[in-house]
Amino acid sequence: MSNEDIFKPKKKETGAKKFWRIVFGTMVGFFLSCIIVSILSMLMFAAMIASVGSTNTVTVKDNSILKLDLQKPIQEQAVDNPFEMFGDEFSQYYQSTIGLDDILACIKYAAKDPKIKGIYINTGSVGAAPATLKEVHDALVEFKESGKFIYAYADSYTQGAYYLSSVADQVTMSSTGVIEFKGMALQVMFYKGLLDKLDIDMQVIRHGKFKSAVEPYLMDKMSEANREQMTLLASTLWNTMVDDIAASRQLSAETLNKIADEMFLGTPKKALESKLIDKTCYKSEVAQDLKKLVNVTEDKDLNLTNLADYRKAVKAETNTAKDEIAVIYAVGQITGGKSGNDIMGSETMVKLIREAYTSENVKAIVLRVNSPGGDGTASDIIWNEIEQAKKAGKVVVTSMGDYAASGGYYISCNSNYIIAQPNTLTGSIGVFGLIPSFQKALKNKLGVTIDAVTTNKHSDAAGTMRPLNAEETAVFQEFIDEFYGVFTQRVADGRGMEQSAVDEIGQGRVWAGADALKIGLVDALGNIDDAIAKAAEMAKLDNYKITYYPKKQDFWTKLMEKTSGDNNVQAIIKQELGDQYYIYQGLNQLKKAEGIQALMPLQIQFE
């Protein structure tokens, strides 16, 4: 810049220009301030939650009672909801769940905690499938061996809630309540009529006469083969529940079945007469019973601690052992890629399994499977990583939850030992492919037609715009049959069976855990603790610590996952539909069923 330029007089700023400069500057400053304040507010809020969460320690008082309310959905692992501390007004904005791991850990810890004198079950319904109910039930039975009491009350009981509450020393309910006790029904929804109305042709290639996952799209009722397997399933699940209730209530199975046959949506009077409950009372009277049980007289001395608070007070036992048992959670429908909300991604699972077996400290792996299956190729990829873990010298024990079927059994069959609950749904050794054709639907319903040019004879095969021809169907059938052969050989090798024997019990048939034990698909019945104990025994470990994979996510990580993309949509739909979510699942399966599927019937509804 020259001296001339420096001393050159400046042009006078016009009023309009000055006005817009001030306005624009003010707007920019305002927006920048808003952004900065928003960021600082978010950081302060996150810090506040983290600070409260870290300092909000819970002290359990003497003569306390652990209160169990299990109405929220129970998952294998759940995330702490920091909004719980602010009460229902805040926590309702984040639909929290209960972790089965937390429930079992709290019940086990309470049994030896001198400050806990007993358990108060206060749940009228339970958000869980039969195997999860069984796991909680058995933990309560074991708790009673400590000599401490269990007391149960609900205004009304669903069948699952009564099953858990029947463990109690005293089972009570409102004098105007209802007990649902009617037996087990497995319902399957069929979509053929809908597809016919829409002129959608569903082309199915499958191997396995029991592979009923495809039936809802082809039929309007169960096939005889499907009805056969469903009848056995329902009987086994129901008998497990009846036997447990009979043992707790000192009633015979025959008596309980007679009650169910009479459609015993029980009035309290009938429930008393049949010894399903011990007395009727109002909830205000429950406090008097509980005070007597802990030998106090004043309301202020009655200390109830809920599950959310108690799990904060439960102290993990310090364990300096070098040897580790890795518990790897394999939960959700199996797909390729990364895991997400109710999804088990093969990429994520391979990473977790490899991390465990490449650790020198990990001597054994417990694979906790809760999956109905899914993509066949992804299942095989996970199977192979289990094979690599065994080749690395690690013992692998599978613990089955509610489901370990089809692809869920595929990834389990290679384990050194398999433990299932008697009412786990497993097996379903079979594969299928679904290819919908929308050609008629587009033409007849929308007046849209499709034309194409191709370079080769089958360039447009396996699309959704035209049906397969006979030659193409034969090719896909050969592909499905070949994969079924791989599946049955995997099972035969893993279970020490002949492939022909696997085929006899395979064909896509679903088995309850108790029946799977009889035919050699599993080695024993039990829970995840039994699986850990077996892994320690097989690895010859006396002193060890347990490491969980994946590590439990914190609230904020999980919240970001829930609010991103498809996960957020699925979470919203699931929350809105509630018990009817399985209807949406069945329809949504049409979109996801690409490639070979090793999947059990997702649309089973327990009643």
Residue 252 bears catalytic tag: no
Q: Which two tokens stand for residue 182?
A: 């009617």
Which residue in the list 211, 363, 394, 534 is annotated as catalytic? 211
| Cα–Cα distance, 207 to 407 (Å, whole number) | 14
* Topology of the domain covering 64-194+223-313: 2-enoyl-CoA Hydratase; Chain A, domain 1 (3.90.226)
* Cα three-residue angle 576-577-579, rounded to 5 degrees: 130
Write down the pTM of the prediction.
Answer: 0.81
Alpha helices in 56-122 (DSSP H): 88-91, 100-112
Q: Which two tokens stand for residue 492?
A: 């035969």
Collapsed DSSP state (helix, strand, coil) of residue 224: helix
Binning pLDDT at 50, 70 and 90, where does residue 359 land? very high
**Spans of all domains in the chain:** 64-194+223-313, 324-555
**Those residues with Cβ within 8 angstroms of residue 284's Cβ, 6 or more apart along the chain or in another chain:** none
Q: Which two tokens stand for residue 163?
A: 């099953």
User: Taking Cα atoms as reference points, which of 542, 529, 495, 487 lies closest to residue 211?
Assistant: 487
Q: Which two tokens stand for residue 340?
A: 């997400």
Q: What is the pLDDT of residues 499-539, one digit of tens each?
A: 999 999 998 889 999 999 999 999 999 999 999 999 999 99
Binning pLDDT at 50, 70 and 90, where does residue 145 land? very high
How many C-alpha atoms does 160 have within 13 Å on its Cβ side? Answer: 22
Collapsed DSSP state (helix, strand, coil) of residue 548: strand
> Between 41 and 126, where is the model more confident?
126
Provide DSSP, 385-447.
Answer: HHHHHHHTT-EEEEEEEEEEETHHHHTTTTSSEEEE-TT-EEE---EEEEEEE-HHHHHHHH-
Strand partners, 172: 153, 279
| Cα–Cα distance, 559 to 446 (Å, whole number) | 41
- Mean pLDDT over residues 106-118, rounded? 95
User: Taking Cα atoms as reference points, which of 144, 186, 589, 261 lies closest to residue 423?
Assistant: 186
| Cα–Cα distance, 183 to 481 (Å, whole number) | 38
Q: Which two tokens stand for residue 547?
A: 């490491």
**Over 80: is that where the pLDDT of 477 sits?**
yes
| Cα–Cα distance, 363 to 395 (Å, whole number) | 7
Residue indicated by tokens 């309560």: 140
Of the listed ranges 118-132, 466-480, 490-504, 532-546, the least confidently predicted one is: 466-480
Which residue in the list 64, 406, 415, 437 is annotated as catalytic? 406
**Those residues with Cβ within 8 angstroms of residue 55's Cβ, 6 or more apart along the chain or in another chain:** none
Residue 406 bears catalytic tag: yes
Average pLDDT, the chain: 82
Please report, for the chain, how many H helices and E strands are present, in that order.
24, 26
CATH assignment of 324-555?
3.90.226.10
Q: Which two tokens stand for residue 89?
A: 């007004």
Question: Residue type for 555, please?
Answer: F
Burial status of residue 311 (CB atoms within 10 A of its CB: 0-12, 13-18, 19 or more): buried
The pLDDT score that the predictor gives to residue 419 is 98
CA 352 to chain centre: 19
> Between 477 and 527, where is the model more confident?
527
Cβ proximity of 88 and 64 under 8 Å: no
Binning pLDDT at 50, 70 and 90, where does residue 434 land? confident
Q: What is the pLDDT of residues 301-324, one digit of tens each?
A: 899 999 988 988 886 666 788 999
Cβ proximity of 507 and 211 under 8 Å: yes
Q: What is the pLDDT of residues 2-13, one digit of tens each?
A: 444 433 444 555
CA 40 to chain centre: 37
Q: What is the pLDDT of residues 165-220, one digit of tens each?
A: 999 999 999 999 989 898 998 888 888 888 889 888 888 777 766 666 778 888 88
Q: What is the pLDDT of residues 221-278, one digit of tens each?
A: 988 888 888 899 999 999 999 999 999 999 999 999 999 988 666 678 888 999 999 9
The pLDDT score that the predictor gives to residue 51 is 46
